[in-house]
Amino acid sequence: MIVDDNRDNLTVIGGLLKGEYHVRVANSGERALQVATTQPIPDLILLDIMMPGMDGYETLRHLRAMPETRDIPVIFVTAMTADEDEEAGLSLGAVDYVTKPIRPAILSARIRTHLALQQARQQLANQNLRLESQVRQRTLELELIKEVTMQALATLAEKRDNETGNHLIRTRSYIEVLMQGLCTQPQFADQLDPTTQELIAKAAPLHDIGKVGIPDAILLKPGRLTAEEFVIMRTHAQIGADALTEAIERVLSSHADSEREQDNRYALSFLEIAREIAGGHHEKWDGSGYPRGLSGDAIPLSARLMALADVFDALVCKRHYKEAFPIEQSVEIIRQGRGLHFDPAITDVFLANVDTFVAIADRHADSHPQADA
């Protein structure tokens, strides 16, 4: 696009370029802004400085301020030949400064150079966008692979004593509801930032990963366990924590010098929270739980969340060793466990969201095969 208030200049420069380029003209700064934002957007602008009304300097300022024109290269073509005039033009963002009277060969060479540079910049920008898109896509794929792998591991453990994997879906959903209620409370806000909430939700399905180490005769026993069997069953919490500790140690040793430090920090945080949940979800607020007998805030928050979610789901759902409890009875058991089994604050959020918990349990209910008639 050529911008000049002198018709003769428009005719001369336009005649020079029209055989090689598609040329558009504007006879004022105001008109230039209209033309520059009309499709097709110019690839290059030749801009006079001395024009009535909006001069070339002001026109360039407006062009640089508009998103659709800010990256268009501008060459000042002007009769102003002083060094300070050229310096002023370039300081405003012009890519070149050509003085009148026009020398056709010089102007053509400058135009070809800057169009080639603009094309190269655009190609580089497009390539960067493609690369960014590929990186985003690859990152999403890796995240999906990791999540599916973790879900598969969790389901492997859960399938051994549960007919479906819906327990994992339900408990994760319960925990998400509890976190939404807790994060608005000052004492939990710092502990439940969005990233931590995401990590806890993703790690929750691994809470019973240690069950892979429990013999089937105990895990699948239809009825109450003996005292000796219960001792063995209780070891699943420590088995899960130990397995995840080993995973953390392997990540630390194999990726100590990795350039992907941010990814490693995220992975380690995920594994650490998974270890907290696996090892601590059978601890009780009053210290009577296992495997370590922790109490109160010494129990990691992630494990305290899972403690309530896991017990509620065990109560309201049928298991191979028990029938489902009625909702009212299940809620009352949780209520009575406030300050004994469960964190009082978490219990209060549960009691305020019982309807939501029930809706989740109904939406993701297990399907049990009908007995033969």
Residue 258 is encoded by which pair of tokens?
């990795």
Residue of 81 and 235 predicted with greater confidence: 235
CATH code of residue 26: 3.40.50.2300
Residue 177 and residue 122 share a domain: no
Give domain status of residue 22, yes or no. Answer: yes
CATH code of residue 237: 1.10.3210.10
- End residue of a domain, out of 84, 103, 127: 127
Q: What are the pLDDT digits (tens) for 96-125? A: 988 888 888 888 898 899 888 888 888 888
Give domain status of residue 151, yes or no. Answer: no
Q: What are the pLDDT digits (tens) for 247-274? A: 788 767 765 555 455 556 777 888 899 9
Residue 356 and residue 274 share a domain: yes
d(CA 234, CA 223): 16
- End residue of a domain, out of 74, 105, 127: 127
**Residue type, position 313, single letter:** D
Residue 228 is encoded by which pair of tokens?
């000796």
d(CA 315, CA 330): 6
Residue 178 and residue 75 share a domain: no
Give domain status of residue 372, yes or no. Answer: no
Residue 358 and residue 244 share a domain: yes
In this predicted structure, what is the pLDDT of residue 104? 87
Sign of CA dihedral 121, 122, 128, 131: negative
Structural domain count of the chain: 2
Phi, psi of 180 (to 5 degrees): -60, -35
Most confident of 31-45, 79-93, 103-117, 292-306: 292-306
Give domain status of residue 140, yes or no. Answer: no
What residue numbers bound the domain in which 291 lies?
Answer: 160-363
Residue 72 and residue 17 share a domain: yes
d(CA 102, CA 114): 17
Residue 221 and residue 82 share a domain: no
Residue 96: helix, strand or coil by DSSP? strand
Q: What is the pTM of this model?
A: 0.61
Residue 164 and residue 256 share a domain: yes
d(CA 84, CA 303): 70
Residue 311 and residue 186 share a domain: yes
Residue 181 and residue 122 share a domain: no
Residue 109 and residue 24 share a domain: yes
The secondary structure of residue 6, as a DSSP letter, is: -
2: β partners: 25, 46
Residue 193 and residue 122 share a domain: no
Residue 121: helix, strand or coil by DSSP? helix
Residues in Cβ contact with 29 at an 8 Å cutoff, skipping those fewer than 6 apart = 3, 51, 53, 54, 55, 56, 58, 59, 62
Is the predicted pLDDT of residue 155 greater than 80, yes or no? no
Give domain status of residue 73, yes or no. Answer: yes
Among 43-47, 127-131, 323-327, 364-368, the range scoring the smallest mean pLDDT is 364-368
Residue 117 and residue 178 share a domain: no
Is the predicted pLDDT of residue 70 greater than 50, yes or no? yes
Residue with the two structure tokens 């309201």: 316
Give domain status of residue 138, yes or no. Answer: no
Q: What angle, rounded to 10 degrees, do the helices at 261-280 and 194-203 form?
A: 60
CA distances from 95 to 73, 170, 347 (A): 6, 61, 66
Contact (Cβ atoms closer than 8 angstroms) between residue 336 and residue 288: no
Q: What are the pLDDT digits (tens) for 194-230? A: 999 999 999 998 898 888 888 888 888 888 899 999 9
